[in-house]
Structure formats: C-alpha cells, structure tokens
Amino acid sequence: MRLPAFRDTLEEMKSPLRAAVIGLGSMGANHARVLSELPGVALVGVADSDPERVAKATANRAFPGFTGIAALLAGTTPEMVSVVVPTGLHETVALQVIGAGANVLVEKPIAADVPAAARIAAAAEARGVALMVGHIERFNPAIRELKARLDAGQGGRVLQIRARRVGPFPHRIRDVGVIHDLAPHDIDIMRYLLGDEVERVYAEAQSHIATGNEDLFAGMLHFRSGVLGLLDINWLTPTKERTLTVLCEKGMFVADYALQSLAFYENYAAAAREGLIASVTEGPMTRYPINNREPLRVELEAFRDAVAGGLPAPVDARDGIAALAVAEALVASARAGTPVVVSEGVAPH
C-alpha cells in the first residue's frame, strides 16, 4: 500500500493535502476550524471519543466525524493529522497515526514523559513521516520579530530571559501539572531565541487546588552559555498574563505573547568593557509595529508546507523532547529541593 505521507504524481501534488484532527476539545476545535479554512488543505475528517463533540464539530460540515481513531484513519486516509487529545494519550494516539503512515502534529507537550516522546520520535523516523510538535509561540509574530532583532545583534549579549505565564486554573486539565502544561511554551522559546540548551534547573512548586499536581511554580534555568532563564508560571492568577522579557547588555526587549507586541528599552550607557557592563541608564523606548496573525494558523501553514515539500518539520521531536526534559527536571528539582542537571539535554541546532 502506498504511504499517504508521500505524493508521487503531479496530480497528487496539485490536490489539497488531506488533513484530520483527533481530539475536539478546547484546542482541537481550533485546529479543525483553522484546517477547514487553510488554502492547500482539505479537512477530510475529525475524531473524538465523545460523540457530542463529534456531532458539534461536524454539524453542517462536509467532512465526516468518528468516535474511533482507527475508523477515522481507515475511512479518510489523511496525510497530515493534528493530535489534540489530553497529554497522557499523545503517545498512544500518535503511534496509531504514524502506524497509518500519516504525518503528525502532536500538541505540546510532546508526551507525558521523555521515554514516551522518544518512542513517538523513533516510530515517526522508522515510518518516514514528519513529526511536528505544537510549540505554538514559535509562530507568534511578536516572537519572530524578537528573534530577528536578537539575531541581528540589536541587544548585544543576552543576560537573562524572564517569562510570566499566569492565569486561572483550567478545570479540564487533570492529567498533568502546570509545569508540564505551560512551561514547555517558554522553555521552547528561550531555547529558540538563544540557540542554546538548558544545563541545570532549580524550581519551587506548590499545589493549592487538590489535583495532586503542582499549580504554582517558580523556576530558574541555567543555559550552557550562562544565560539565566526565569519562569513565573501558575494557574492561580485571576487575570491572564503571557509576557517575556529579554534583558541584554544594550537594553531590554519586552514581548507580550497575547497582545503580540514588542518593545525595546534602550540602555543609554550601553558601553561594555571586556564583557562587563560599564553602566546602565534609562534610554528611549521603541515599540515595533507587528503584523498580527493567529499563531495556530501560522503553525498549521508551516506544517502544511513541510508535508507538501517533504521538508523537516520546523519544530521537531528534538525540540519537543528538549522542552519536556527541562519540564521533568523542574518537577524533579521542586520535589528534591535541589538543583537538577538536565539529563536528556540535546545539542543545539
């Protein structure tokens, strides 16, 4: 049987890519909406174990819905599949999709633990399909602008990156704590911006809502280059905030993921002597124009283009595993009360 991951004839190459979504909860419904609107893609089917969610997603739509994953895969032979089930099920569902020969986008975190993530990565490689991980903030226009400015050397050497990701507790998430659920976003962005890996971490975590998992934590990441990463993440704040501050020798960038805004506060006395900052004074602030776009749409466009072009996924298994390994080290550190070396760290790209 021909693998749906590959397109051989010109006719096949010109036809839209066949896409499917598994898991139609709060995030999966968005995947289905975006894929149904994406040029070059035809949403051919969706699946959820909850028949009500399937009925809602397929009402007045041309594509069929399924309550079983095997039926979806056999009935629609998709070429690209979004796996948007709860994190604890990522491995089982992703392996089924890969087994059917479809390219797969697994939502973040890539899996519940690093061994499960490694099994997904090995299966995708063996089957020759693309595996992308849904680290959506990579596709946030404010982060892309920030990355371009950092790479151009606008800030000089980076000293510290601080992320704040706080908001109310999402009652539907019971299988993982806030470290696994939210920290991979910012760990991934810090790795991406720095082109560096985390060497060791220290975290303090608390649980206030009785789920058995942490819902409040503060974490410190020590990157190999010496840059310090700070994570302030919780599910106990009555207002949503998603911000990132990058402190550099020549000034400070402040990005707001949610507003998709980026500003630079200049250090007027930006003279550095032999790597030491001579002085710091407040300089002018510049706010950059950002062409706002829905990050999920940009992410799914990138997945589509990788699949259509037979190219590597722009956020791959290595990225997913690296972020998860750091999240696991943070959990271990919070439990032990000591710094923890990241054992599964991978070489920078």
Ligand X SMILES: NC(=O)c1ccc[n+]([C@@H]2O[C@H](COP(=O)([O-])OP(=O)(O)OC[C@H]3O[C@@H](n4cnc5c(N)ncnc54)[C@H](O)[C@@H]3O)[C@@H](O)[C@H]2O)c1
* Residue with the CB atom nearest ligand X in the bound state: 25
Q: Are 341 and 228 in contact (CB under 8 A)?
A: no
Distance of closest approach, residue 184 Cβ to ligand X, in angstroms: 8
Burial environment of residue 148 by CB neighbours within 10 A (0 to 12, 13 to 18, 19 or more)? exposed
Torsion over CA: 110, 111, 116, 120 (sign) = negative
Q: Note whether 328 binds ligand X by CB under 6 A.
A: no
Distance of closest approach, residue 92 Cβ to ligand X, in angstroms: 7
Q: How far apart are CA 66 and CA 75, in angstroms?
A: 9
Q: Which residue has the tokens 């410190």?
A: 220
DSSP secondary structure letters along 37-100: H-TTEEEEEEE-SSHHHHHHHHTT-SS-EESSHHHHHHHH--SEEEE-S-GGGHHHHHHHHHHT
Q: Note whether 273 binds ligand X by CB under 6 A.
A: no
Both tokens assigned to 259: 């507003």
Phi/psi at 213 (5° precision): -120, 160
Q: Note whether 28 binds ligand X by CB under 6 A.
A: yes
Q: Which is nearer to ligand X, 16 or 75 (CB)?
A: 75
DSSP H or E segment with residue 131 = strand 131-134
Binding ligand X (rule: CB under 6 A), the pick from 7, 101, 105, 107 is 107
Q: How far apart are CA 4 and CA 79, in angstroms?
A: 5
Binding ligand X (rule: CB under 6 A), the pick from 48, 214, 319, 328 is 48
Interacting span for ligand X (CB under 6 A) from 42-50, 207-215, 250-258, 325-333: 42-50
Distance of closest approach, residue 322 Cβ to ligand X, in angstroms: 17
Binding ligand X (rule: CB under 6 A), the pick from 34, 47, 54, 326 is 47
Burial environment of residue 318 by CB neighbours within 10 A (0 to 12, 13 to 18, 19 or more)? middle
Distance of closest approach, residue 113 Cβ to ligand X, in angstroms: 13
* Among 305, 38, 62, 37, CA closest to 46: 62
Q: Which is nearer to ligand X, 85 or 227 (CB)?
A: 85
Binding ligand X (rule: CB under 6 A), the pick from 89, 228, 263, 298 is 89
Binding ligand X (rule: CB under 6 A), the pick from 136, 158, 248, 331 is 136
Interacting span for ligand X (CB under 6 A) from 83-91, 196-204, 250-258, 320-328: 83-91
Segment 155 to 214, residues that bind ligand X, using CB under 6 A: 172, 181
Distance of closest approach, residue 256 Cβ to ligand X, in angstroms: 16
Q: Note whether 87 binds ligand X by CB under 6 A.
A: yes
Q: Which is nearer to ligand X, 20 or 194 (CB)?
A: 20
Beta-carbon contacts of residue 280 (< 8 Å; ≥ 6 apart): 267, 269
Q: Note whether 91 binds ligand X by CB under 6 A.
A: no
Q: Which residues contribute to the site for ligand X (CB under 6 A)?
A: 22-28, 47-50, 53, 69, 84-87, 89, 107-108, 134, 136, 172, 181
